[in-house]
Amino acid sequence: MDACPSELNYAAHLIQLNAIRPHKPAYIDDHNTLTYGELARKIILFAGLLQHLGIRREERILLMMHDTIDWPVVFLGALYAGVVPVAVNTLLTPDDYAYILKHSRSQAVFVSGTLLPVIQQALDQGQHEVKHIVVSQPADPLPTPLLELSRLMSSANESPVCTTMSDEIAFWLYSSGSTGQPKGVVHTHANLWYTAELYGKPVLGIVEDDTVFSAAKLFFAYGLGNGLTFPLTVGATTVLMSERPTPEAVFKRLIQHRPTIFCGVPTLYASMLASPLLPEKNQVAIRVCASAGEALPKDLGTRFRQHFGCDILDGIGSTEMLHIFLSNQPGQIRYGTTGKPVPGYEVELRDDQGHRVDTNAIGDLYIKGPSAALLYWNNRPKSLETFQGQWLKSGDKYSCDADGYYTYAGRSDDMIKVSGQYVSPVEVENTLIQHKSVLEAAVIGVADEDGLTKTLAYVVLRDGQPGGPQIAEELQAYVKQHLAPFKYPRTIHFLEDLPKTATGKIQRFRLRQLNK
């Protein structure tokens, strides 16, 4: 791998890489196709649009849009202009957006038409510096002073590229909030370059002939790599989907566009395999899949490979590291584990005193690699806690076996100590979902009347089966049969759905709130 250039504007870098394929489709969304030539021109025009609006270098803009061809134009156009896009989850509350607008001091909002009512509620709370609201694909004519993106683009002038350094602030993402208040994660131009060079090309194996479909959205660090950084680096084509990634919606794109690379999360893979509409192998063209967000249970990976004849490269990344740094890799897949460190990253497991743990012992996961974020914006205590010199403390617990394979043991604040022994909630969850009646499960620790911690499981049953004492006892016996007896859930509650972030992570902290 060549060294990342010290002077780098990542948007200009992508334009230069793809100048040889101006007529090839870069993006296909639900209604339009955008070629590489058109993408390049729109990026340059959007930079001019920002200049026309008076948005200056290093100022922030909020990017709150569904996955359409406008998303990469806004994101990369901002980078081209030296303006910092703040890409946010499209499923947050008005209060969340009000907080982010104030925290980021965004000067403008670029929003999908269907999301306009939500962002207007956030703006009505005041305490922001927004000067312009620009709407992508509005359903109705816009009242003054709202602006329409397509009209602004039609009258925009091209702008020269902003010369930026590789370590210069390029964009922000907000952490998904699986553990509470989201944090503004600040990334550089080089971070995008490194994820493509270290994971996209050598691990995912993406090439120009591929068509990529990521169910994980572009605002998610994982989705940003899948749907923008990796395909645009090699000249591949990306399929975008604005709607929620239900199994039915995913199947439609897999059959219609026949992507060769598919990127999802474990909860989606579980729902796909459980769906009566699951397509046959000959209806799709996928050759490799990726998974992140949470650990992929062994049973899911095995069943997916049996059905579709292709592997899922399960890995772990984070908003702070931008993409996957620990992964199963082609020819080295061991389902039930998260694989081995991606070449270019170093991983250590440490105990509470900071010492490396023994083989098969559970420790805190630390990572060192070139795609690490700079800091959390305006959050010095959390920055010091997470970014420790060259190392980043992930907040995850892992063990590593004698062969060098890492196995997820839960978030650091999710580990449960029962009778003086640590219980990994993930281990219990993975056992529960192997039962024929269980679709999803989440395990937390709760204190009993004596103040002692016991395991409690929340379970979603398949096909709307009713829960009750009989199935609860059956599931408890099943866990005892497959794990050490002290690990079985003392109580089981049945739910229709588990609380999750928009990226598919189970929000155990919300389940813990139910027991306060």
Residue where the block lists tokens 């866990």: 479
Residue 476: other Cβ atoms inside 10 A? 17
Q: Could you give the strand order of the β-sheet that contains 211-214, starting from the edge strand earlier in sequence?
A: 33-35, 25-28, 237-239, 211-214, 261-264, 288-291, 312-317, 324-327, 340-341
Backbone Cα Rg of the chain: 23
Summarised one tens digit per residue, pLDDT across range 298-344 is: 989 999 999 999 999 999 999 999 999 999 999 999 999 999 999 99
pLDDT band at 295 (very low <50, low <70, confident <90, very high): confident
User: Please, what's the largest Cα pairwise distance for the chain?
Assistant: 70
Mean pLDDT across 237-246? 96
Q: Which two tokens stand for residue 125?
A: 């709370």
Q: Tell me, what DSSP letter sits at residue 90?
A: T
Q: Does 415 score more than 60 pLDDT?
A: yes
Range name among 3-7, 120-124, 508-512 with the lowest pLDDT average: 508-512
Residue 451 confidence (pLDDT): 63
Mean of pLDDT over the chain: 93
Residues 412, 508: Cα–Cα separation, whole Å: 12
pLDDT band at 68 (very low <50, low <70, confident <90, very high): very high
415 in Cβ contact with 423 (< 8 Å): yes
Which of 443-472 are b and which e, b meaning 16 or more Cβ less than 10 Å from the residue's Cβ? bbbbeeeeeebbbbbbbbbeeeeebeeebb
Residue 179 confidence (pLDDT): 46
Residue 464 confidence (pLDDT): 75
Q: Does 446 score more than 90 pLDDT?
A: no
Summarised one tens digit per residue, pLDDT across range 453-502 is: 789 999 999 987 888 999 999 999 999 988 877 789 999 999 999 998 76
Handedness of CA 275, 281, 284, 290 (dihedral sign): positive
Q: Could you give the strand order of the β-sheet that contains 438-447, starting from the edge strand earlier in sequence?
A: 438-447, 453-461, 491-494
Give the 3-state secondary structure percentages of the chain, helix then strand then coil, rounded to 5. 30, 25, 40
pLDDT band at 48 (very low <50, low <70, confident <90, very high): very high
Residues 446, 437: Cα–Cα separation, whole Å: 24
Range name among 19-28, 303-312, 498-507 with the lowest pLDDT average: 498-507
Q: Which two tokens stand for residue 358?
A: 């023994």
Q: How many Å from the N-terminal Cα to the C-terminal Cα in the chain?
A: 52
416 in Cβ contact with 455 (< 8 Å): yes
Is the preceding peptide bond at 145 cis, omega within 30 degrees of 0? Answer: yes
Residue 421 confidence (pLDDT): 66
Specify the higher pLDDT residue, 75 or 509: 75
Residue partners of 188: CB distance under 8 A and separation at least 6: 166, 167, 168, 169, 170, 374
61 in Cβ contact with 85 (< 8 Å): yes
Residue 381 confidence (pLDDT): 92
Specify the higher pLDDT residue, 415 or 111: 111
Residue 178 confidence (pLDDT): 44
Specify the higher pLDDT residue, 503 or 136: 136
Mean pLDDT across 235-252? 97
Mean pLDDT across 429-438? 93
Q: Does 47 score more than 80 pLDDT?
A: yes
Residue 454 confidence (pLDDT): 82
50 in Cβ contact with 76 (< 8 Å): no
Mean pLDDT across 225-250? 97
Summarised one tens digit per residue, pLDDT across range 175-227 is: 854 445 679 999 999 999 999 999 999 999 999 999 999 999 999 999 999 99
What Cα–Cα distance (Å) separates residue 386 from each residue in 86, 201, 340, 379, 506? 21, 28, 22, 11, 22
Residue where the block lists tokens 């995008």: 192
Q: Which two tokens stand for residue 417?
A: 């100590």
Summarised one tens digit per residue, pLDDT across range 344-400 is: 999 999 998 999 999 999 999 999 999 999 999 999 999 999 999 999 999 899 999
Strand intervals (E) in 152-240: 169-174, 184-188, 211-214, 237-239
Q: Which two tokens stand for residue 137?
A: 């694909």
Type of residue found at 443? V
| Strand 416-418 with 406-411, pairing | unpaired
Residue 438: other Cβ atoms inside 10 A? 21
pLDDT band at 294 (very low <50, low <70, confident <90, very high): confident
Region of 85 please: left (phi>0), alpha (psi -120 to 50) or beta.
beta
